[in-house]
Amino acid sequence: MPSSRLRRPFALGAMALGLALAFAPVASQAEAPVAAPVVKYDYDQDIFHPVYAKHGMVAAEHELASRIGVDVLKRGGNAVDAAVAVGFALAVVLPNAGNLGGGGFMMLHDTKSGQDVALDFREIAPAKASRDMYLDAKGNVAEGRSTYTHLAIGVPGTVAGMEHALQRWGTMKLADLIAPSIKLAEDGFVVSPTMAKMLEVEKDNLGKWESTRAIFFKNGRPLQLGDKLVQKDLAKSLRLIAKHGSKVFYQGEIGDKIVAEMAQHGGLIGKDDLTHYKVEERVPVSGDYRGYKVVSMPPPSSGGTHIIQILNMLERYPLAQYGVNSAQTIHAMAESMKLAYADRAEYLGDPGFVKVPVKGLTSKKYADELAQKIDPVKVLPAAAIKPGKPQPYESDQTTHYSIVDAKGNAVAVTYTLNLNFGSGIVAKGTGILLNDEMDDFSAKPGVPNAYGLIGGEANAIQPGKRPLSSMSPTLVLKNGKPWLVTGSPGGARIITTTLQTIVNAIDFGMNPAEAASTPRVHHQWLPDQLRVEKGLSPDTMAILKQQGYQVSVQPTMGRTQTIQLRDDGLYGYSDPRNPDGATLGY
């Protein structure tokens, strides 16, 4: 092993070269978008290898759910059939995020019609919700009230969303798709190391509630590695949904138990809230990036809007020449991220309540204006960034899964309970964990939520309103056909994780395994901190710090589930950050 004395000159030389590259002017690239490099794959050169399948593929955060989805595809079901089956399965095997008591979004490409559709089954604020419901007598945010109490729970949308998707685009019966999940809940499955760790971390929140302890605790402690998680009440609820559809959840026996749980503990959800819940079909937000079409969720998700906004800024930089995770690439990304997140705090909310200038935010001309603020070398402090003016251009815990069927139909679903296990509250007699999604509203404009995100008036609490989200199920199309299906959990970091997956695929020619295995970075404007995963070179870290970034190495970000469609078949990969995930195909 060489001595440190021998290694040091090389390190200094590399740092000097990196500094020279980082400080090289890039203004000349700002005049026109840079074309995408030609993406070529060489099996012998790929460091990480994705899963290959010829006909259909499912990428999800638990192998048992992926197996259920692939089985549906093998039986002739389409991507939506499989998505519904996986959605119910994850409610059983991934209880910290998969859910019946939460909500989310689905992006769909229908090959037959050529249409892209955004399905919104996000939670909704109850009728009794009020703007200042999480403030104490002094006007300050009361700690924990918007996360771990019955007041934190929004009206769930998952069951309605799954049924809606199946009725509109599916081909199979709901009962047949739910049947495997009923068996899993009834018979149980072995607790993995990942689940055991999460239960231990969340034991204080989960342990507050008798109905929750009855499921996830044994002999006074959380279930351990090797224990079996059996969910009899959840199996009963799934049977009821299989037989009666969503009506039993919103107007029948399950809904009655949820309302009773609310009434007993001061929650706000009443019968009318459940009865009036509505799924929305929305027009996706879309943009072009180096010749590819990026299609993602519109508001009340901020994800699609800001992914496209950031890509519009990045398009002027030759990232492929800069290199993966070079100081130059990270600088361009971080500065673009900050500008987009500042706009998120000001403009994004439920389009049913506020006018969101989506067209302006995703305009190429607005990106040109914002990019003028990006110095090739200097860091723009967060304090110097204010939300821009897009109007003139107006003419965590979550889980994601991706599915492609034999006909090329593509589905990307991101749904959530918000924090791990949501509120931690199981509605007595249902086995259903309930969300704490109300924390995604701005409890008090200017005060950060559980993810450190700042919100403004556009995302203030109102009855019947959907809270702002970062969930970003995304499709990338090439020549009008799906080329990449991706998304991730991760709270505030969903947007930047999904963004980097797209950039890794387009700019750096990575396959899904390589894209998922590359260290990630994140900047959300406030706090003024460049968050990075371990794995960046010391030289790059030194350059970034010298430029003025407050660099912080923190735990991993995101858990992508990605499928790429190529001429010779499907290539997919489940993020290695979650060892329970699995991509399977046939």
Strands 530-532 and 551-553: parallel
Is-catalytic flag, 398?
A: yes
| Cα–Cα distance for residue pair 536/553, rounded to 1 Å | 9
The closest alpha carbon to 559, from 344, 330, 398, belongs to 398
Which residue is catalytic, options 147, 158, 398, 486?
Answer: 398
Query: Of the candidates 484, 489, 531, which has an alpha carbon nearest to the alpha carbon of residue 504?
Result: 484
In angstroms, the CA 86 to CA 80 distance is 10
CA distances from 523 to 22, 452, 458, 487 (A): 18, 11, 22, 18
The SS3 assignment for 394 reads coil
* H or E segment and range at residue 72: helix 63-74
87 CB neighbour count, 10 Å cutoff: 31
Nearest to 422 by CA among 232, 198, 121: 198
Beta bridge partners of 301: 469
Long-range (24+ apart) CB contacts under 8 A made by 11-17 are 11/538, 11/539, 14/539, 15/539, 15/542, 15/543
Pick out the residues of the known binding site. Answer: 122, 416-418, 440, 469-470, 491
Which residue in this structure is represented by tokens 């790429």?
564
In 3D, which of 578, 459, 465 has the Cα closest to residue 195? Answer: 578
DSSP conformation letters of 31-65? GSPPPPPPP---TTT-SS--EEESS-EEEESSHHH
Q: Which of 508, 490, 483, 496 is nearest to 563 (CA)?
A: 483
Please say whether the dihedral angle defined by the alpha carbons of residues 148, 343, 531 and 32, taken in this order, is positive or negative.
positive
Continuous H helices in 170-231: 174-187, 193-201, 203-206, 210-216
The neighbour count for residue 264, using CB atoms within 10 Å, is 10
Bridge-based pairing state of the strands 292-296 and 474-478? antiparallel
What is the spatial distance between Cα 243 and Cα 266, in angstroms, rounded to a whole number? Answer: 31
What SS3 class is residue 114? coil
Residue positions in the annotated binding site for L-glutamate? 122, 416-418, 440, 469-470, 491
Q: Token pair of 464, please?
A: 């019947």
Q: What are the distances in angstroms from CA 337 to CA 36, 51, 332, 542, 586?
A: 21, 31, 9, 21, 38
**Catalytic residue ranges:** 398
